[in-house]
Amino acid sequence: MNYTINQLRVFLKVIETESITKASEELFMTQPAVSIQLKNFQSQFKFPLTEVVGRQLYVTEFGYEVAEIARRIFDELEALKYKTKEYEGIYTGRLRISVASTGKYVIPFFLTDFLNTHTGIDLVLDVTNKSKVVESLKNNEIDFAVVSVLPEEVEVEEVLLIENKLYLVGNTDNYSKNKTLIYREEGSATRQVMEQYFDKKGSKRKQIELTSNEAVKQAVLAGIGHSILPLIGIKSELIEGSLKIIRKRGLPLKTDWRLIWLKDKKLSPVANAYLEHVRKEKAKIQKKYFKWYLDFE
């Protein structure tokens, strides 16, 4: 075989986008140039990597297997790129973390001292919903994920970061009334625990669904209804008085924010260094940045 790194890069982008047009746009190449690179790469295999049905490009099973190997090649190239720096005692490279939406209020404080110490590390932080976080983890696209409920469909290892406290809240005008319940979308960990709580109570309140924690918070602020929200994300609103906690038996609900990674995953030097930092410094980080939160009742 005589493939090039550029052919691998083009092939992976085509696999990712399932489109020559989109791949060419993202790679800043012309469509004919992408097609030629893909054709030259394909010529080295007996089995098709992709196939076109109508005008739609599909990736074959063989193509997906080759793509997985290609991703590992790029991972090794990335490690090779920074190996000299590592021997000098300087950690450089990428740290890739995917965070379930409300984890954005937690993970920056577990990163700041580490990144300030190791200035050669590039952080790639994706804040999205839980389903996409788990998908990225399953596809081995990230080093770590931050979630509050462990995924059932994949085996992982974990380090607990901090407790996640969830309270029922309303705005200053309606917090004492029996209002509409505002839920996150299906697949959200917050929705999961909220449903469990109200199902147990046999609640018959009207329900609406929104697709982000920030949208839910704004809807509560506007007086549309009540919701169960993570305390970590409503500090400012509680201080200024625009949101009020509705005290109910069985609340707050409690889970744990946790850093997880694939079981048996071979972590990069940068990922290993970060994991060691979290384990060693967790108590200090909690005390330094989360004292108000830990003391809140």
Kindly write down the DSSP assignment for every residue of 56-93, as one continuous string: EEEE-HHHHHHHHHHHHHHHHHHHHHTHHHHHTT---E
Task: Pick 125 or 76 by higher pLDDT.
Answer: 125
Which alpha helices (H) appear in the chain, and where do they start and end?
Answer: 5-17, 20-27, 31-42, 61-81, 83-87, 112-117, 130-138, 189-201, 213-221, 235-240, 269-289, 291-295
Residue 82: predicted pLDDT = 63
For the stretch 157-206, pLDDT in tens is: 999 999 999 999 999 877 667 789 999 988 788 888 898 888 887 777 77
DSSP bridge pairs for 167: 229
How far is Cα 42 from Cα 19, in angstroms, rounded to an integer? 16
How far is Cα 137 from Cα 153, in angstroms, rounded to an integer? 11
Q: Which one, of 69, 211, 187, lies nearest residue 134 by Cα?
A: 187
How many helices (DSSP H) and strands (DSSP E) are in the chain? 12, 11
The residue type at 24: S
Q: How large is the average pLDDT for residues 279-285?
A: 96
For the stretch 138-158, pLDDT in tens is: 989 999 999 998 988 899 999
Task: Pick 278 or 54 by higher pLDDT.
Answer: 278
> For residue 218, how far is the Cα from the chain centroid?
22
Residue 277: predicted pLDDT = 95
Phi and psi (nearest 5°) for 181? -95, 130
Give the confidence band of 76 by pLDDT, cuts at 50, 70, 90.
confident
| Whether the model pTM is above 0.75 | no
Structural contact between residues 183 and 210, judged by C-beta atoms closer than 8 angstroms: yes
Reply yes or no on whether the pLDDT at 58 is more than 70. Answer: yes
Reply yes or no on whether the pLDDT at 14 is more than 70. Answer: yes
Token output for 260: 């997880």
